[in-house]
Structure 1
Amino acid sequence: MRSWSIGAIGLAGLAAIVGASYSSPEALLAVGVLTAVGVGIGWPHFLGIPARKTLAVLIGLPGVGSAIGATYLPAPGFLDWTPSFMAAGVMAVFVMQLIRGTGQAQRLESTLGSCAGVMLSCLGAGWIACFRFNGVREMLLVAAISAAIALLAGLIRWPDRVVAPLGVIGAGLAGPLAGLVFSDIAVLPAVIVGVVVGAVLVSFRRLVILRGESLSFAAALGMGLGPVAAVGSLAYFIDKLLIF
């Protein structure tokens, strides 16, 4: 698949998150679980590392647990279980690599890359926490719209030195505009959310460019959903620090 498919998958994931937030907490949980599963399945394929089926389980399950915890834990500790799931996932990856034994192909790359995948999978629970934090969809919408602008900028087939600033600036402008239209969020927090979200997403675009190979659907799925999952927790913590 071509690199633009990653952006399309990311946009579809964002649309599913926003749509589920207008439906029910259970629907948002289902999207969170599917996102974690998608990251678990796709991330090892993107990295091109061995033992992909086993690593898919080790990466996806902590994210599923984090999403469940963010849905049902009482306020304000929506993400209290997330660090524990991250730690458990990282330990499981190390144990798995020990079982594989020394001398195995791409052992270091597999370990480090899988640990990063565990973190991305678990950070997706931030979208659920962001929704539950103040009981409205304000920051969730601002973050999702900013992320969508950055992903759309990433679809432009221009040099990265042009697309990267464009994505960050576009997301930074989209944040306050979305805040003014859809909520009463102050300009400063909305700008910060937009800029941070844009910077994260254009950084992941750079990873795709550096890989420089045609992607399978599974690889595009993991790379499309991974950064989308990450920006959910960013939006939640910025919301928590700057608004309340």
Structure 2
Amino acid sequence: MIRWIRVAVALVLVLALSASVYWGYTLFLLATGLIVFGVAYGWPRLTDSPQPRATSIMLALFGIGGLYAAWHDSTAPYLDWLPVLAGLGLLWTFVQNLTRGIGASYAVANVSAQVSGLVIVLSASTWVAAITIPGDKEAIVIGLASLIVAQCMTALPWPAIYTSPLAIVMSTAVAGILSVLVFAPALSLASALSLGVVMGLLVAAVDRMLGLVAYAKFQAANLEASQNIEVKKNVEKARSFAVQLALGAAPIALGGVVVYALERLAS
């Protein structure tokens, strides 16, 4: 049941992005900001960061910075400031972890997790870049629809050996149907099917990789440290929601890279 929380999170984000595509650029920017805040809050809890608040602040600041930079970039490729932000984010990550001390435990794992979170929040800015590219925006809507369908498939209570292929097949089918019945001839069937396949692969891969992180031994560290049963329950509930929030928002943030690449190729 708890796996469906990520689907609910993804559905809210997808609906916000899909609707704002046609309602205005500013609304789309705000909807993309929800993705950033979802990842910023959930990622440190998913990876069991020893500095969750500092990491959340860092991810939120750089994620919003990426959105702002893409919003104000009026010339292709619309992501000129992204390398600068990535470099500054890496510097922040190393400095933040140095404050824990030279002999801090799991330093490599923590740095790796924080850098991964940085990549994901900066990826959200590609949605803003994608909508900035002149032309039709059907690829954005089809990509979002494929993402949510794939998320639903991976949330089914079956082994990943079944849900992962199902996610790819269903996301591809939905992309093809939308291309033929709704958005023809703005987006070719071949492009739509390719988009569906990649989105399905993306969601399946994120589900497999981050799902393993969610059940890693580090996730139980704070719970074992607590001797109070009620505190354990409260911490577990809060962490479970944050973990599902990250698992729901991360594929959508990364999906922007795919849509942006398709829009750039088509422009």
Provide the residue aligned with 2:207 in structure 1: 205
* Structure 1 residue 146: Cα displacement: 0.9
* Structure 1 residue 207: Cα displacement: 3.1
2:168/2:197 contact within 8 Å kept: yes
Instruction: Name the SS for the 1:182 alignment partner.
Output: coil
Provide the residue aligned with 1:219 in structure 2: 243
Q: Which amino acid aligns with 1:182?
A: F
* Structure 1 residue 225: Cα displacement: 0.7
For residues 135 and 26 of structure 1, the distance between their equivalents in structure 2, rounded to whole angstroms, comes to 18
Q: Over residues 159-208 of structure 1, what are the superposed CA-to-partner deviations in whole Å (9 max), with x where a residue is unaligned?
A: 11011001011112222222222242112221121111111111121135
For residues 136 and 65 of structure 1, the distance between their equivalents in structure 2, rounded to whole angstroms, comes to 26
> Which of 179, 189, 192 lines up with 1:190 in the alignment?
192
Unpaired runs of 5+ residues, structure 2, are 220-235
1:37/1:61 contact within 8 Å kept: no
Q: How does 1:1-244 map to 2 (within 5 A)?
A: 2-180=2-180, 181-183=182-184, 184-210=186-212, 211-212=214-215, 215-241=239-265, 243-244=266-267
For residues 11 and 106 of structure 1, the distance between their equivalents in structure 2, rounded to whole angstroms, comes to 34
2:147/2:251 contact within 8 Å kept: no
1:33/1:64 contact within 8 Å kept: yes
Which shifted more, 207-216 or 12-21? Answer: 207-216
For residues 191 and 84 of structure 1, the distance between their equivalents in structure 2, rounded to whole angstroms, comes to 34
1:63/1:85 contact within 8 Å kept: no
Instruction: Name the SS for the 1:116 alignment partner.
Output: helix
1:38/1:221 contact within 8 Å kept: yes
For residues 4 and 105 of structure 1, the distance between their equivalents in structure 2, rounded to whole angstroms, comes to 33
For residues 83 and 231 of structure 1, the distance between their equivalents in structure 2, rounded to whole angstroms, comes to 19
Which shifted more, 145-154 or 83-92? Answer: 83-92
* Structure 1 residue 140: Cα displacement: 0.4
Q: Over residues 81-139 of structure 1, what are the superposed CA-to-partner deviations in whole Å (9 max), with x where a residue is unaligned?
A: 22221221122111111222222132111100110000100111111122221243211
Instruction: Name the SS for the 2:74 alignment partner.
Output: coil
Q: Which amino acid aligns with 1:196?
A: V
Return the TM-score normalized by structure 1.
Answer: 0.93
For residues 53 and 155 of structure 2, the distance between their equivalents in structure 1, rounded to whole angstroms, comes to 30
For residues 185 and 86 of structure 1, the distance between their equivalents in structure 2, rounded to whole angstroms, comes to 32
Which shifted more, 88-97 or 133-142? Answer: 133-142
Higher-Rg structure is 2
1:143/1:231 contact within 8 Å kept: yes
For residues 48 and 151 of structure 2, the distance between their equivalents in structure 1, rounded to whole angstroms, comes to 23
Return the TM-score normalized by structure 2.
Answer: 0.85
2:207/2:247 contact within 8 Å kept: no
